[in-house]
Amino acid sequence: MANRQSTHQDYSKPRQHLESITILRGLAALGVMIFHVRIFLWTGWSNIRSHPEQFSLFDRSAAWLSLPAPMLGECVLLFFVISGFCIHYPMAGNTTKLELKTYAIRRIIRIYPPYFAAVCLSLLAVVYFEWTNPAQEPWVANLLLIQNYLPSVNSQISSNCSLWSIATEVEFYLAYPLLLLVWRRCGPIRSMLFFGMISLTALGLYFQGIQGMAFSAFTFYILWWSGAFLAELRTTNCLPKAPPITILVGITLLVTGSIAQHRGDNLVMAQRFLFGGFFVLGVWWLLTNKFFKASEESLLTRILIHLGNISFSLYLIHYPFLQVCGIAWEKQFGSKPTNFFVPVAFCGLAIVAASIFYVFIEKPCHLLARKFRTEDQS
């Protein structure tokens, strides 16, 4: 009976908010930020291990906290899985026609104004650099969201290399209406096989020398739609509880992905899919197991939900913020910090900056998108 009712659900009607998804989004942004902060605000593990006599016992001890950090850059793949879940969630379990106008305008309102502001702030950060200036940066390509391919592969603004994934996300958004049509006509199993073949084809093109596939949505279709598949199963009450073996498989994927990462760039695409599989299993496990207490019961959960709410803002601005902080630190002290607690503290400052960006830039866009949905219903 629940499934029958869900087929008549209106796309414009919001679904139940899932705190676990919000928390995962915040943890993904935090992971990417910790991965990047080491570039600008830490002397590095290799330097400390190679010359331990030059560092205090406290510095050497704190360095051990950084061991997971190299893997955290792959949290961008968790964003892709969550994105697929969130985009499909309103349409999951029903056959209602997707209102393209509403869908497109709401995506534009929610994504592009904060992205535009982030590009502007990134160009402002470039002014602080001694080796380049805004006129030399590919800012037009970034504003047009074509920087993954033009003027050359991965033409990011030098102060914000994180922006590549936003362009990839937009490719997912553009493809979603067609992917939804394939899903409904072919069914879940054949659709997943089809999306998997697209990803494998894109992977093959990458190994044939087409480097742009490293940033193309085609490569990550299977991960993105795995998130959508979880949304479909969750909404139709068909998502089984993740069995205990899920943990073992997840750990195996995580370990093999870490080994592939350690072996170097030749296995970069292999590590991405290994980490991606780990994140798909992780989302499934958290959707079917109560790991976090409800927000009304736990201060930690409320903090994590706030981090999830500002995760897009944090992702957009953390790179230029930390890069400028790193340059300022070196100008003041002559070298990068030697204690890992210093970059962790700067991550806290980045969260404060992202909270301000969220309040003044991103949140008004959310409110406007909701207003458009209400007006469109009337």
C-alpha to C-alpha distance for 144 and 121, rounded to whole angstroms? 16
Residues in contact with 67: Cβ distance below 8 Å, sequence separation at least 6, in sequence order? 45
pLDDT tens-digit readout, 83-140: 999 999 999 998 899 999 999 999 999 999 999 999 999 999 999 999 999 999 999 9
Q: Which of 5-9, 98-102, 144-148 has the lowest mean pLDDT?
A: 5-9
> How would DSSP label each residue in 163-232?
GHHHHHHHHHHHHHHHHHHHHHHH-HHHHHHHHHHHHHHHHHHHHTT-GGGGT-GGGGHHHHHHHHHHHH
pLDDT of the residue at 229: 97
In this predicted model, which residue has the larger pLDDT, 81 or 9? 81
C-alpha to C-alpha distance for 2 and 118, rounded to whole angstroms? 42
Could you tell me the pLDDT band of residue 5, with boundaries at 50, 70 and 90? very low
Whose tokens are 């676990």? That residue is 20
pLDDT surpasses 50 at 11: no
Cα dist from 239 to 92, 230, 269, whole Å? 12, 7, 29
Alpha-carbon torsion (81, 70, 152, 219), positive or negative: negative
Q: For residue 244, give both structure tokens.
A: 């205990």
Residues in contact with 146: Cβ distance below 8 Å, sequence separation at least 6, in sequence order? 167
Mean pLDDT of 339-361: 98
> How would DSSP label each residue in 98-161?
P-HHHHHHHHHHHHHHHHHHHHHHHHHHHTT-SS--GGGS-HHHHHTT-TTTSSSTT---TT-G
Average pLDDT, the chain: 92
C-alpha to C-alpha distance for 364 and 14, rounded to whole angstroms? 18
Cα dist from 178 to 77, 98, 124, 298, 332, whole Å? 22, 10, 38, 41, 53
Mean pLDDT of 333-360: 98
3-state SS record for 294-348: CCCCCHHHHHHHHHHHCHHHHHHHHHHHHHHHHHHHHHHHCCCCCCCHHHHHHHH
C-alpha to C-alpha distance for 24 and 18, rounded to whole angstroms? 10
3-state secondary structure of 42: coil
pLDDT of the residue at 12: 45
C-alpha to C-alpha distance for 304 and 298, rounded to whole angstroms? 10
pLDDT surpasses 90 at 1: no
Q: How far is CA 286 from the centre of its chain?
A: 17
Instruction: Judge whether 199 and 222 are in contact, CB under 8 Å.
Output: yes
Mean pLDDT of 68-74: 95
> Cα-Cα-Cα-Cα dihedral of 220, 225, 227, 228, to 10°?
150
pLDDT surpasses 50 at 6: no
pLDDT of the residue at 2: 35
pLDDT surpasses 50 at 9: no
pLDDT tens-digit readout, 270-304: 899 999 999 999 999 999 998 888 888 899 999 99
- Give exposure, 236-274, as e/b (b: 16+ Cβ within 10 Å): eeebeebeeebeeebeebbebbbebbeeeeeeebbbbbb
pLDDT of the residue at 274: 95
